[in-house]
Structure 1
Amino acid sequence: MIISSLSILLFMFLAHTTEDTMGVSSEDIMLQNIEVDQYSLPYFEPIFLDEGKVQLLMDRLEETIYKEPVNARFSANGQIMPEILGETLDRNQFQILFREHFYSNRNSNFEVPKKPIYPKVDRGLLKEISTKQLGTYTTFFRKNNAERAHNIALATEAINNYVLFPGETFSFNEIVGERTRERGYKRAPVIVRGELSEDIGGGICQVSSTLYNAVDINGIQIVERYAHSRNVPYVPKGRDATVSWWGPDFVFKNMYNAPILIRSVSVNGTMWVSIYSSDTAEYFTGK
């Protein structure tokens, strides 16, 4: 091991918990001189740093410290839930402090520096892009088909509160993810080569089809869409969008000059998808 188990134990043992300004638990990590001193190059006087070991130490520290930021979002009752800052190692500041301690005779600890990671969507942006409805669509399903209703609810929640910035593309498969038993999806009816069958994630295509009808508006460019091999009951003929993890995807691009917000709900046999943006949103026409 390039970094000894002793060094890992040292900085983990010296961690203590504090509360940051967002009310989120955060760990401060202190390094002692005994930790810093072991990063000199072997077979030399202890005046040269082993940069490879320092980089590996920073990678380990970053892995320990990292907290992913959380975007602001609407709750089930329509209230805006504030964003949560993430956190990572401040690598530049760490290198400065590390070298100061390595090349000095200080007999003191130093706190490993961290810096915040800001989410892409904060409360202000979310409020701004939820003022103007650009499109909406509603479909219906049998709520007593518990497995299919469950799958629809999972996929609906996966796309809910998603913000697509100007010029970005939305991939249904990428955002919803693979439909597996481990991720909570259940076996339900699906259409395979024109025939009804059962598979994990049955019902997902109702979500993608509802989304397609909601975003099929000026300002949204449909990049990729495929129809089922037979008509489906929840949307008119030719208005469906089939998806499969190893097959068809539904992809569209935001051509507006502002982000768009996807709001989606599935409850009691009804699901709807609405698309919002700011009052000043305009789409690029190419003229």
Structure 2
Amino acid sequence: MNRKYFLYTSSEFNSVRTCREVGRLLKIPFLTGILLLSQLGFYSNELIILHKETEVNRVNRSDFTHPSPEIPTIHVEKYLEFLELMDKEMYQAPKNAYIDKSGHIIPGVAGHKLYREKFSDRFLRYYYGNGPSKLEVPLQPIHPKVDEELLAEIRVHKIGQFVSSFNSYNKNRTNNISLAAEALNNHVLFPQETFSFNKIVGKRTAARGYMKAKVIVRGEFSEGIGGGICQVSSTLFNAVDQAGLKIVERYCHTRQVPYVPFGRDATVSWNGPDFKFQNNINQPILILAKVVGGRVIINIFSAEGVNVSYK
């Protein structure tokens, strides 16, 4: 059987490749590669790339063509760079289902990403074809990790709870506590996953709405952005500990705090101490956190049948 060869160029070397090898490089089926490479017509006509009939990009064959003495060839590296760009442009993250303030489950929303293999197949049909063309971007759905059915199953059985109080007249501290509790609320932790307070709550900055309030630094009180969030991490620790979940990392303050019993606190700081725990049961857990008046209320839920030895 005669093999069809063509030259492709990278930034490092020129190489003669078979249709099969090029198909592997671009992740397209072998037979499609043969079909495309048998049509060596090159025109400087544009490809209009559409998403839901709206133009998202426009390219030309010449953007991806490296001329050679004998035949024009596709520049594989340039095409792969373009593919990465399209990946970023078309990616839309899914949104998990969640429980609203009224206790209703709000359905999740599927996201999507570029279907790379189908896109490459259609792009190369254009590239090795004749004249201009249009391409509707093929997408693959990305389903939410947490859907309605899962939430309905794991919201029924409370396995841990803790409530702490604070002075709601301190507006800055109340603001910080509310932001941190909101970040925790509706978080679902799957079996064997490890929860990091710093990762989930994120960096405490003024740009994210955090304000200056009292913090403890080296045993002394001072003002700092995000003051008050340690009350949220400490409340979470006590709820998690009551549920019998595995504590992975916890540090106490260098002096006693008024909102939890002595030795029952969990200090946190960005790029410093963190509070971590692992879901060591065989079902996902749901964290529901809220601020009501001058109280931080954190509940831990899971599915029916989960046995907890309350502390």
TM-score bracket, normalised by the shorter chain, equals 0.7 to 0.9
Q: Deviations over 1:252-278 (max 9, x none)?
A: 000011111100001211111111111
Alignment-derived partner of residue 147 in structure 2: 122
**2:283 aligned residue (248, 258, 278):** 258
Tell me: CA distance 1:155–1:45, structure 2 relative to 1, closer, same or farther (3 Å): farther
Alignment-derived partner of residue 65 in structure 2: 40
Alignment-derived partner of residue 228 in structure 1: 253
Q: Deviations over 1:126-147 (max 9, x none)?
A: 1111111110110111111000
- Residue identity over aligned pairs, in percent, reads 47
Q: Deviations over 1:171-204 (max 9, x none)?
A: 1011111111111100001111222211110000
Mapped partners of 1:148, 1:221: distance in 2: 29
Alignment-derived partner of residue 223 in structure 2: 198
The CA deviation at 1:36 is: 4.1
Alignment-derived partner of residue 305 in structure 2: 280
Tell me: CA distance 1:267–1:17, structure 2 relative to 1, closer, same or farther (3 Å): farther
**8 Å contact from structure 1 (residues 40, 46) kept in 2:** no
Mapped partners of 1:115, 1:165: distance in 2: 24
| Aligned counterparts, 1:9-48, within 5 A | 15=50, 29=56, 35-36=60-61, 38-43=63-68, 48=73
Alignment-derived partner of residue 154 in structure 1: 179
| Aligned counterparts, 1:1-287, within 5 A | 15=50, 29=56, 35-36=60-61, 38-43=63-68, 48-105=73-130, 107-217=132-242, 219-281=244-306
The alignment's TM-score, normalised by the length of structure 1, stands at 0.85
**Structure 2: stretches of 5+ with no match in the other structure:** 1-9, 11-45
Q: Deviations over 1:41-63 (max 9, x none)?
A: 33355553211111111111122
**8 Å contact from structure 2 (residues 50, 137) kept in 1:** no
> Tell me, what secondary structure is at the counterpart of 1:167?
coil
> Tell me, what secondary structure is at the counterpart of 2:172?
helix
In the alignment, residue 60 of structure 2 is paired with which amino acid?
E
- Stretches (4+) displaced over 6 A: none
Q: Deviations over 1:112-139 (max 9, x none)?
A: 2111111211111111111111101101
How many residues of Structure 1 are paired with residues of Structure 2 in the alignment?
264
The alignment's TM-score, normalised by the length of structure 2, stands at 0.79
Range that drifts further, 53-62 or 248-257? 53-62
**8 Å contact from structure 1 (residues 29, 112) kept in 2:** no
**8 Å contact from structure 1 (residues 224, 249) kept in 2:** yes
In the alignment, residue 144 of structure 1 is paired with which amino acid?
Y
**8 Å contact from structure 1 (residues 37, 102) kept in 2:** no
Tell me: CA distance 1:238–1:14, structure 2 relative to 1, closer, same or farther (3 Å): same
Mapped partners of 1:231, 1:63: distance in 2: 48
**8 Å contact from structure 1 (residues 28, 112) kept in 2:** no
Task: Give the root-mean-square deviation of aligned CA atoms.
Answer: 2.2
The CA deviation at 1:106 is: 6.0
**Higher alpha-carbon Rg:** 2
**Structure 1: stretches of 5+ with no match in the other structure:** 3-9, 19-26
Mapped partners of 2:142, 2:241: distance in 1: 34
> Tell me, what secondary structure is at the counterpart of 1:216?
helix
Mapped partners of 2:272, 2:133: distance in 1: 59
